């Protein structure tokens, strides 16, 4: 039986996933990005300083990650190192964007896969937000509309959390999380100029001053976000994990893991990072080599060469290509499939015994749930890893503000050479993000982005190996092949962004 799960909702963009189910088991899966955009072509011939502005338009959710990756690539090309304040401001805006994105993903995009929204009908309390939600759901259900209470109802059939008080509490957090996301975005905009698309992130730093009033405004917003992470987000993820322990074994991807590391602790882009980079293959972490990254297009709608390195990549659309089923390319590391994202970040950092808070939190939760760190490769593992990233980043951002030197420069002078190239690698919330640019005659001659969801939602490569999400779906037992709540929970755990993946 062949089932199209698309368009999968509660993700960024419009992903289609085709599954083939036999005897209630997914035996095949194909991820399909069904649109071409061509950002890399748009960049050709432009002033290099347009790149960190234009690439942000790839996405409204992770724009700062694109601004940062582009800035790192340009810094390498220009031989530029920001002043200490400049790199700290980069970190402050990028880190705040991560916090917003994790909360958005857990509460708005995933929680209602587990939380029973109909519990609101039992609510008798006085909270204005919950009372409003209750009366709205009641009115919608009474309206006779074919899709009452969208986007909450109707929903996929399956088992949801049964404790009414917990469900109502989680719905309260669902509403509060939106206010907290606003605070994270406001914090990012203090030094980034605005959200979503920053006007204030450049190679070499940020033009905003490091003024005391701005620093204290940033701190007070991030403190509120941090408190929500500890008081609500981590406990809510843990409660879902306690109720659905089978999801430590569901949605396991079948390759390695890649992380470029997140948030440099010094002005140089290759300074030690808050979360350590690495490639985890065959149980061993190795250093990342950008030259080992290639992209296959055998099953993608491109006439470009297959297996080309980042530097040699091509973008030649071929909408009618036989045998192709997606506009997403298939990036591979040493020819091998890897998963990127929060679980990769945490597993790679933990395996290197690098960040002490990561170690403490992973040890605490693996003990609490009686799992191994390798089981972070699962639906629950990805949700928990995001919450751990959020806790670690929030602490780091507050400590970074203490290192700002008020009044000292926040940006380096920029001189664009006639000819140069640069790689810029960071972690977007969804995973490893690489930008590459080559400059000729002071203009962009070539630009290439290798983006997190391109890795995770990649199609088969030229050897026939499925992408990370495809591999995590294959083998899943589904109670109802027509609805497949299990498959949708797996897709959501990757937090795909199709806008980014096709870029």
Residues that bind ligand NFE (CB under 6 A): 12, 59, 61-62, 65-66, 428-430, 433, 451-453, 497, 499-501
Closest approach of ligand NFE to the CB of residue 312, in Å: 22
Q: Is 27 helix (H, G, I), strand (E, B) or coil?
A: strand
| Smallest separation, CB 3 to ligand NFE (Å) | 25
Query: Which residue number, 26 or 61, has a Cβ lying nearer to ligand NFE?
Result: 61
User: Closest approach of Cβ 497 to ligand NFE, in Å?
Assistant: 3
Task: Give the residue with the Cβ less far from ligand NFE, 21 or 104.
Answer: 104
- Contact status, residue 242 vs residue 166, Cβ threshold 8 Å: no
* Token pair in block for residue 235: 């406990």
Q: Count of CB atoms within 10 A of residue 268's CB?
A: 12
Residue 144 φ/ψ, nearest 5 degrees: 75, 10
**How far is 456 from 454, CA to CA, in rounded Å?**
6
Q: What's the closest the beta carbon of residue 320 comes to ligand NFE, in angstroms? A: 27
CA distance 70 to 443: 15
Q: Report d(CA 133, CA 49) in Å as an integer.
A: 46
Query: Residue 19's beta-bridge partner residues?
Result: 3, 29
Backbone angles phi, psi at 461, to 5 degrees: -85, -175
Greatest alpha-carbon span in the chain: 68
Name the minimum Å distance from CB 276 to ligand NFE. 19
Nearer to ligand NFE by C-beta: 67 or 180?
Answer: 67
C-beta of 375 vs 501, nearer to ligand NFE: 501
Closer to ligand NFE by Cβ: residue 6 or 158: 6
Cβ-based burial of 474 (10 A; exposed 0-12, middle 13-18, buried ≥19): middle
Query: DSSP characters for 124-181?
Result: -S--HHHHHHHHHHHHHHHTT-SSTTTTTSS---S-----HHHHHHHHHHHHHHHHHH
Q: Choose between 300 and 451: whose C-beta lies nearer to ligand NFE.
A: 451
Nearest distance, CB of residue 187 and ligand NFE, angstroms: 18
CB of 500 to ligand NFE, least distance (A): 3
Measured from the CB of residue 142, what is the shortest distance to ligand NFE in angstroms?
Answer: 37
Nearer residue to ligand NFE within complex by CB, 61 or 168: 61
Q: For ligand NFE, which is the closer residue by CB, 31 or 59?
A: 59
Long-range residue pairs from 218-222, CB within 8 A, at least 24 positions apart, any chain: 218/92, 218/96, 218/187, 218/190, 218/191, 218/401, 219/398, 219/401, 221/96, 221/183, 221/184, 221/186, 221/187, 221/190, 222/96, 222/99, 222/183, 222/184, 222/187, 222/394, 222/397, 222/398, 222/401
Query: Minimum distance between the CB of residue 404 and ligand NFE, rounded to whole angstroms?
Result: 25
For ligand NFE, the closer CB: 119 or 433: 433
Nearest to 65 by CA among 41, 101, 110: 101
- Name which of 170, 60, 58 is nearest 112 in CA terms: 170
């Amino acid at each position: 039986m062949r089932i199209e799960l698309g368009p999968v909702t509660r993700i960024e963009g419009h992903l289609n996933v085709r599954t083939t189910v036999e005897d209630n088991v997914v035996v095949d899966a194909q991820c399909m990005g069904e649109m071409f955009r061509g950002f890399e072509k748009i960049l050709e011939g432009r002033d290099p300083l347009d790149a960190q502005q234009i690439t942000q338009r790839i996405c409204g959710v992770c724009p700062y990650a694109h601004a940062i990756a582009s800035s790192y690539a340009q810094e390498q090309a220009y031989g530029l190192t920001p002043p200490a304040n400049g790199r700290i401001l980069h970190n402050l805006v990028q880190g705040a964007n991560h916090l917003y994105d994790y909360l958005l993903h857990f509460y708005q995009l995933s929680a209602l896969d587990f939380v029973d929204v109909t519990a609101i009908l039992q609510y008798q309390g006085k909270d204005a937000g919950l009372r409003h939600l209750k009366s709205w759901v009641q009115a919608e259900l009474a309206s006779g509309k074919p899709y009452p209470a969208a986007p909450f109802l109707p929903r996929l059939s399956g088992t949801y959390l049964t404790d009414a008080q917990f469900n109502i509490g989680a719905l309260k957090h669902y509403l509060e999380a939106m206010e907290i996301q606003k605070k994270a975005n406001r914090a990012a905009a203090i030094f980034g100029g605005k959200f979503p698309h920053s006007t204030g992130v450049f190679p070499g730093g940020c033009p905003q001053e490091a003024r005391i009033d701005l620093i204290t405004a940033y701190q007070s917003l991030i403190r509120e976000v941090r408190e929500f992470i500890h008081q609500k987000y981590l406990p809510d993820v843990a409660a879902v994990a306690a109720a659905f322990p089978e999801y430590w074994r569901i949605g396991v991807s079948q390759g390695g893991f890649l992380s470029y590391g997140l948030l440099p602790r010094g002005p140089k882009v290759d300074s030690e990072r808050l979360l350590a980079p690495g490639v985890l293959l065959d149980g061993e972490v190795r250093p990342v080599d950008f030259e080992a990254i290639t992209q296959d297009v055998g099953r993608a709608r491109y006439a470009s060469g297959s297996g080309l390195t980042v530097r040699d990549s091509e973008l030649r659309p071929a909408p009618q290509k036989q045998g192709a089923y997606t506009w997403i390319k298939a990036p591979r590391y040493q020819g091998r499939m890897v998963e990127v994202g929060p679980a990769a970040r945490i597993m790679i950092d933990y395996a290197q015994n690098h960040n002490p808070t990561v170690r403490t939190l992973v040890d605490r939760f693996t003990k609490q749930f009686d799992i191994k760190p390798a089981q972070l490769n699962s639906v629950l593992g990805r949700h928990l890893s995001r919450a751990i990233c959020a806790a670690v980043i929030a602490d780091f951002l507050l400590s970074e503000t203490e290192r700002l030197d008020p009044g000292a420069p926040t940006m380096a002078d920029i001189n664009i050479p006639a000819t140069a190239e640069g790689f810029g690698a960071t972690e977007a919330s969804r995973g490893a993000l690489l930008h590459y640019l080559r400059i000729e005659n002071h203009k962009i001659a070539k630009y290439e982005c290798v983006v997190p969801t391109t890795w995770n939602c990649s199609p088969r490569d030229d050897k026939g190996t499925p992408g990370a999400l495809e591999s995590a779906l294959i083998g899943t037992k589904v109670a109802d092949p027509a609805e497949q709540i299990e498959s949708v929970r797996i897709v959501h755990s990757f937090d795909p962004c199709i806008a980014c993946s096709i870029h």
